[in-house]
Amino acid sequence: MKSCKPAGVLIYATCTTEPVENEDVITDFLARRGEVFVIDNPRPYLPRPVGALLDEQGFFHSYPAAFEMDGFF
């Protein structure tokens, strides 16, 4: 991928909570480019309270009903 420097960071973010537009996209991307890209643990880079919004894979999720925030991935 020419738009990301070696050892650079690529962030995928959406304003939806649908897995087909979030986790499924990442799974598909890594199936094709996993030799170049890996999922990094975001916890060291985020404020501690944000950890409650991360799932076991390290993906950030916010939901209107649970956190009184917009839905976001």
Domain count, the chain: 1
Q: Is residue 23 part of a domain?
A: yes
Q: Is residue 7 part of a domain?
A: no
Tens-digit pLDDT profile for residues 33-62? 878 899 999 999 899 998 889 999 999 999
- Closest by alpha carbon to 72, among 21, 63, 26? 63
Q: What are φ and ψ of residue 72, in 5° steps?
A: -155, 150
Q: Is residue 1 part of a domain?
A: no
Q: Is residue 41 part of a domain?
A: yes
- Write down the pTM of the prediction: 0.81
Domain span at residue 41 reads 19-67
Residues known to be catalytic: 15
- Residue 26 makes CB contacts below 8 A (sequence gap 6+) with 12, 39, 59
* Phi-psi group of 22: left, alpha or beta (phi > 0 → left; psi -120 to 50 → alpha; rest → beta): alpha
Which pLDDT belongs to residue 48? 92
